[in-house]
């Protein structure tokens, strides 16, 4: 895999032996004003997804999920500190938080409910276990290069689910291939490590739906509901569309992410090099503009004021011009999609947006802890710490399935 820092050796090692190896702290977009109808809570959690946290908070405070605001999603396999908002009337119920596997770090009030995206970024503290010799010196050189050239803004393998196939599910949904969606959703037995789940998938592939339903782990409620509808004689379309809209949108978003990652790889290692026809993003406000004279605008890119973008494809998205736009259209055509493909209706339409190919890294430092190396840095919202880790460690690329077997070499 090409890297931004491909000429600098990686440090190897491993990470995430335990949640404490991966610490994430949200950087708020704005300070709370200290008054208002919404109570902001800073919570520390470990081994818990954000959605699981929200469900537990709703039960704890007798709220609907829609009553709770949050700024971003956080990994379960980490120690994370994030802000949520609840109605101010919950303030008297804060002692109930002692019943939950979370720690209350701070509370304050604000006029508005916290919304998704209302954060400036995240502060990370990561621990790389047993890296190669001279790891700190190597990491420092890589971080200095990333400060100048930017961090690749790819999504990476964590975006594609446990089986590496979330983007495939998005493609099948867009193409209304509901029977194939069901097979992909239950999973390929050869890729499933969990014994009961693997056996359920084997039964499903053999057409033994009742046996598959009995073997699915209890926590896989969506999969169980889908199988139940199929057993009742409902169509594959009805079974698939019975899944929660947020879950289906997650698969569509995974497809957007996979396509973005393909376009990003085409621009490595010079992600800051503008091309005529690019739609460049202004980092100060997120606005995009068409690059007509790449030579003239390159000085701004060298100062990290602007960066080229690639699409998260959707029905209303503006594509780039000239050579960058040709690559975007060619990729869509290769997998049989058009912008209109994303107009599904029923709450599933994806309108699309532009995403920068690189993001700035700040406040970075390294520290040796015995045989391990600690990394501290900040990234803007929507970007992933694993992008930094991959540049520093240079591990073998994790497997993410191609959309179809015949696209493996092309994508």
Does residue 231 register a pLDDT over 80?
yes
* 232 phi, psi to nearest 5 deg: -75, 0
Contact criterion met (CB below 8 Å) for 392 and 142: yes
Average pLDDT in the 183-201 region?
A: 96
Contact criterion met (CB below 8 Å) for 311 and 354: yes
**Could you give all domains of the chain from N- to C-terminal order, each with its CATH number?**
30-117 (3.30.2350.20), 166-244 (1.10.1510), 269-358 (3.30.2350.20)
Active site residues: 75
The residues, ordered by sequence, that sit 6+ positions from 385 with a Cβ below 8 Å of its Cβ are 22, 24, 122, 124, 126, 377, 379
* pLDDT, tens digit (0-9, with 9 covering 90-100), for 16-35: 778 889 999 999 999 999 99
Does residue 76 register a pLDDT over 90?
no
The pLDDT confidence band at residue 159, using thresholds 50, 70 and 90, is: confident
Pairing of strands 353-356, 306-312: antiparallel
pTM assigned to the model:
0.89
Q: What local confidence, expressed as pLDDT, does residue 343 receive?
A: 95
Over the chain, what is the mean pLDDT? 93
* pLDDT, tens digit (0-9, with 9 covering 90-100), for 356-405: 999 999 999 999 999 999 999 999 999 999 999 999 999 876 666 777 64
C-beta atoms surrounding 309 within 10 Å:
22
Does residue 332 register a pLDDT over 60?
yes
The pLDDT confidence band at residue 48, using thresholds 50, 70 and 90, is: confident
* 222 phi, psi to nearest 5 deg: -65, -40
Does residue 310 register a pLDDT over 60?
yes
Contact criterion met (CB below 8 Å) for 25 and 122: yes
Contact criterion met (CB below 8 Å) for 319 and 333: no
The partner residues of 279 in beta bridges, in order of sequence, read 290
Does residue 244 register a pLDDT over 90?
yes
* pLDDT, tens digit (0-9, with 9 covering 90-100), for 256-302: 999 999 999 999 999 999 999 999 999 999 999 999 999 999 999 99
């Amino acid at each position: 895999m090409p890297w931004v820092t491909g000429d600098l050796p990686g440090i190897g090692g491993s990470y995430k032996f335990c949640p404490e190896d991966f610490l994430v702290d949200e950087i708020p977009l704005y300070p709370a004003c200290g008054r208002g109808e919404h109570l902001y809570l800073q919570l520390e959690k470990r081994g818990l997804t954000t959605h699981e946290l929200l469900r537990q908070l709703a039960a704890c405070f007798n709220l609907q999920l829609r009553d709770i605001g949050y700024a971003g999603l956080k990994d379960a396999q980490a120690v994370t500190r994030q802000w949520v908002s609840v109605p101010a009337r919950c303030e008297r119920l804060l002692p109930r938080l002692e019943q939950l596997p979370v720690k209350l770090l701070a509370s304050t009030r604000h006029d508005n409910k916290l919304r998704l995206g209302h954060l400036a970024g995240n502060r990370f503290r990561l621990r790389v276990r047993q890296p190669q010799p001279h790891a700190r010196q190597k990491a420092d050189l890589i971080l200095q290069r990333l400060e100048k050239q930017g961090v690749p803004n790819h999504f990476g393998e964590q975006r594609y689910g446990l089986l590496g196939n979330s983007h495939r599910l998005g493609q099948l949904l867009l193409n209304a291939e509901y029977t194939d969606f069901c097979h992909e959703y239950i999973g390929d037995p050869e890729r499933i490590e969990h014994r009961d789940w693997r056996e359920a998938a084997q039964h499903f592939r053999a057409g033994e739906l009742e046996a598959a339903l009995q073997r699915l782990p209890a926590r896989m409620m969506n999969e169980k509901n889908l199988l139940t509808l199929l057993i009742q004689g409902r169509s594959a379309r009805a079974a698939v569309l019975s899944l929660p809209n947020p879950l289906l949108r997650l698969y569509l978003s995974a497809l957007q992410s996979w396509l973005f990652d393909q376009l990003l790889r085409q621009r490595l290692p010079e992600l800051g090099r503008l091309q005529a026809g690019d739609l460049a993003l202004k980092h100060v406000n997120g606005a995009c503009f068409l690059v007509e004279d790449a030579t003239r605008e390159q000085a701004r890119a060298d100062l990290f004021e602007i960066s080229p973008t690639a699409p998260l494809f959707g029905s209303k998205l503006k594509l780039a011009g000239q050579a960058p736009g040709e690559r975007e259209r060619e990729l869509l055509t290769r997998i049989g999609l058009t912008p209109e493909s994303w107009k599904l209706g029923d709450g599933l339409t994806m309108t699309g947006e532009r995403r920068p190919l690189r993001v700035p890294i700040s406040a970075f430092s390294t520290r040796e802890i015995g045989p391990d190396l600690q990394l501290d840095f900040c990234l803007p919202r929507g970007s992933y710490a694993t992008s930094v880790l991959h540049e520093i460690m240079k591990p073998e690329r994790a497997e993410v399935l191609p959309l179809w077997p015949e696209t493996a070499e092309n994508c």
